[in-house]
A and B are shown apart, each in its own frame.
Chain A
Amino acid sequence: MNQSIPGINKKAGTDLPVLKPYRGGIVHAPDNLLFSRWLADLPVWFWWALPLLIVVWPGFALAASNYSMSQAFAALIKWIPFIVMDGFLYNVIISFFAMLIGTVTGVVLGLMQVSPLRLIRYPAKFLTQSFRNSPWLVLLFIVLLALPFEVEIGGEIIRIPDWMKAVFGLCLPVMANISEVVRGAIISVPSGQWEAAESLAYSRHQTLWQIILPQCFKRMIPPWMNWYAILTMATPLCSLLGVEELITLSRQAIEAENNRPELLVPFYGFALLIFFAYCYPIARATIALERRYAVKLQ
């Protein structure tokens, strides 16, 4: 450390600009993983602090009340099977299908974004940017209100369940963000790969599918998982539209228990806990995968 380097920790011996050494860390995947990084880095004490908060906070709030804390928790425990099986299960189902549809359409849109044809590229860019930069709730409202309640297929009337409409609403922003993930991964491959393939007589199409995309695949997984966690966190938005999911059912349960304000923290705290328990492992896996792949980037 005591070594003196001209231009770094000592006066430079030249007027020419000196290139300072790069203090590099890990090369990160194209999309930033702020959310997963934050979640995965939460310290272990958080695991205990979160449930504790749910217990301690209402303890103070209830000190003067005649409704005891044990009563509040008894109410919560009574409702947990209903909240989880009829509620959170739908958050998982909605996030799963929204991710599925969003990924398939997003990959197509992302590939269109790198097309050499303007006629394909420009509309894809427009769709991507508009859905990426719209409030999710607004998109949800539009889809929920625009979609019919029921469709007629071959003379049979089929009701579209609300959760399915929520899937269509939420898959739009997911699609747009996955589209950017795909585009980002493709343009992050050094242009030399395109040139090498081109000089080996590969067509553009062959280059994309046989050379470029196989290299992108690994790089896309961490941001893709990051978006899944964000999507799952967004599913409670559906409760504003009356879709039956965790928050909607928690509210119903509280109402059934006479709307006692003492119930708010145990019930919503439980909702927080269950989302945390679901997303935390995903975030850890995302960051672990990202570290593994980052080392192999050129």
Chain B
Amino acid sequence: MNATQWDPTRPIISIVDVHKSFGDLEVLKGVSIDVMKGEVICIIGPSGSGKSTLIRCINALNDIQSGSITVEGLEVHDAKLDKLALRRKVGMVFQQYNLFPHKTALENVMMAPIKVLKEPRDEVETRARALIKKVRLEGKEDSYPGELSGGQQQRVAIARSLAMNPDVMLFDEVTAALDPETVKEVLVTIKDLAEEGMTCLLVTHEMGFAREIADHIYFTDRGVIVEHGPPETFFDDAKDPRTREFLSQIL
């Protein structure tokens, strides 16, 4: 893996002064974030503050108007970017799971490594079964997404993303669409990952969870980063009035 060779003193993801508009609506107005290898970053903020847009820009699902995003030295918004190379490094999990409904859980996990990375089938299958075990879904290998609960589907989606051996994982409000009782099982899975040293970027509304696992928290509002810091100082000693107002509303 490239990440093992990545110089730990340099940020693995570097976001510098990113601006992004949808038509006339400017959703990111100069955002900068550095992420070191192995760090867990949580981005929080009110809806419409641009957090999901930002995370989607990191694996080039959205383009940006100015600024730069680099992932392990790859310039994400370079027109000559090798998107395959970028997306092998960056895994992404979505709010709506987006599993492929016509394939079983196991096939969902195995498809991309076989079809995209052209890895041998039996090797991929061993890895996929291990990943399904890791997300605690043993016995569900042959279930179709429609037969699984939201939390189970989301864990399959996490396993599917991990099967590509990414160096960075992006989580875009992955528990927002879940029933309250299944949120925990997904959070536990993410926590396991974070503890193993996976670099994670999470957009989340789960404040307790953010506080527990994040190394660093960023608060965004109206397209800018209002405040950031380690969880203790951020939650207990927020400086900016906007942050304090937001925290008082949800905590």
Identify the A interface with B (CB < 8 A): 190, 192-193, 195-203, 206, 210-211, 214-215, 296, 298
Contacts and interface: CB of A to CB of B under 8 A. Distances in A.
A211 B100 contact: yes
Contacts of B92: 199
Contact of A210 (B59, B61, B96, B115): B115
Interface stretch (B25-33, B83-91, B179-187, B239-247): B83-91
Given A199-B61, A201-B83, A192 B98 contact: yes
B246 to A, nearest CB: 22
Contacts of A195: 61, 94, 98
B87 A199 contact: yes
A215 B92 CA distance: 22
Closest 4 CB pairs of A and B: A196-B98, A201-B87, A200-B112, A192-B98
6 contacts: A195-B94, A196-B99, A196-B100, A197-B100, A203-B84, A215-B100
Contacts of B91: 199
B100 A201 contact: no
- Name the residue in B100, B157, B160 with the highest tally of chain A Cβ atoms < 10 Å from its Cβ: B100
Contacts of A203: 84
Given A210-B115, A296-B146, A201 B88 contact: yes
Given A195-B61, A206-B115, A200 B164 contact: yes
Contact of B98 (A193, A202, A206, A296): A193
A200 B102 contact: no
A198 B87 contact: yes
Interface of B: 59, 61, 83-84, 87-88, 90-92, 94, 96, 98-102, 111-112, 115-117, 146, 157, 160-161, 164
Contacts of A190: 96, 98
A298 B146 CA distance: 8
A200 B115 CA distance: 10
Contacts of B87: 198-201
Nearest to A191: B98
Nearest to A192: B98
Interface residues of chain A: helix, strand, loop or mixed (majority) = helix
A192 B94 contact: yes
Contacts of A296: 101, 146
Nearest to A297: B101
Nearest to A218: B102
Contacts of A298: 101, 146
B67 to A, nearest CB: 21
B179 to A, nearest CB: 17
Nearest to B60: A198
A27 to B, nearest CB: 14
Contact of B96 (A192, A200, A201): A192
Given A192-B94, A215-B101, A200 B61 contact: no
B102 A215 contact: yes
B161 to A, nearest CB: 7
Nearest to A211: B100
Contact of B116 (A192, A196, A200): A200
Contacts of B164: 200-201
Contacts of B146: 296, 298
Given A201-B84, A201-B116, A202-B112, A214 B102 contact: yes
- Name the residue in B88, B92, B112, B164 with the highest tally of chain A Cβ atoms < 10 Å from its Cβ: B112
B84 A198 contact: no
A198 B161 CA distance: 11
Contacts of B102: 214-215
A198 B91 CA distance: 10
- Name the residue in A197, A200, A214, A298 with the highest tally of chain B Cβ atoms < 10 Å from its Cβ: A200
Contacts of B90: 199
B236 to A, nearest CB: 35
Nearest to B112: A200
A28 B157 CA distance: 28
Nearest to A214: B102
A201 B112 contact: yes
B171 to A, nearest CB: 12
Contacts of A200: 87, 111-112, 116, 160-161, 164
